[in-house]
Amino acid sequence: MLEKEQKLLEILKSAFQVEGKVIRNRRVEIWDHKEMVPAILLMVKTQLGYKHLNHITCIDWLEEGKFQLVYTVFSHTDKLTLFVKTKIDRDPAIMPNIDDIWDQANTYERELREMYGIEFPGLVGDQEFILEDWDEMPPMRRDFKTDVYAEKTFFAQPGREDAQDVRETITKRSGEEIPEFAKKYSRD
């Protein structure tokens, strides 16, 4: 079992001295420094047949002060999905640009730039991607307080206070009991 996966991992390990593991059937992940990522991706694309870039995604590890970037690539011949993971500093968040390897990476990178404020040197395209006229902190960063922003920008309807337990309020209003099965969904 998992021979293909192990083999891939070994190839990559021997080539780049990366850490990595087989997650499960047809899922392999590796970690490396951000400088190595383009090289790895280029290598897996050109030599191992991982021609399909599924996605580039970002996880904000606020506590660590890091962003984790995950490049998901897929091989149509091996039917394997490879996750290439790297962690970069939150501030300044700079990541090598890979849109010369995959053209479509441009879209993902622009999105990341807008939503997380990660800079990709040499990235072509308008600064504005999905949001219009955004001048605040990139909104998907965890330290961006969206409720504060919403309160500041939009009008709250009276009677709607934030973070209240809807069920509880309804119960209080109508005098019903909260059913047992529903209690686990309550806030406290």
Partner 1 sequence: MENKRNSQTIAEYIKNWSRKHSLFIMAYGTGCGAIEIPATLTSRYDAERLGIRGAATPRQADVLLITGYLATKTLKRVIRVYEQMQDPKYVIAFGSCTINGGMYYDSYNTINVLEKYIPVDVYINGCMPRPEAVIAGFQQLQDKIARGEADNGTRYKENLEWYRANQHRVIKNWRMPDYNW
* Residues at the interface with partner 1 (CB under 8 A): 131-133, 135-136, 139, 144, 146-147, 149-151, 153-157, 159-160, 162
Structural contact between residues 139 and 115, judged by C-beta atoms closer than 8 angstroms:
yes
Q: How far from 132 is each of 16, 32, 112, 136, 163, CA to CA, in Å?
A: 41, 35, 15, 11, 28
Q: Residue 68 Cβ, how far from partner 1 at the closest point, in Å? A: 22
On the question of a cis peptide bond just before residue 92, with omega within 30 degrees of 0, the verdict is yes
> Smallest distance from the beta carbon of 4 to partner 1, in angstroms?
42
Report the residue count for the chain: 188
What's the closest the beta carbon of residue 116 comes to partner 1, in angstroms?
Answer: 14
Query: How far is Cα 13 from Cα 21, in angstroms, rounded to an integer?
Result: 10
Q: Which residue, 133 or 180, is less far from partner 1 as judged by CB? A: 133
Name which of 77 and 153 has its Cβ closer to partner 1.
153
Q: Of 23 and 150, which CB lies nearer to partner 1 in the complex structure?
A: 150
At closest approach, how far in Å is the CB of 10 from partner 1? 45
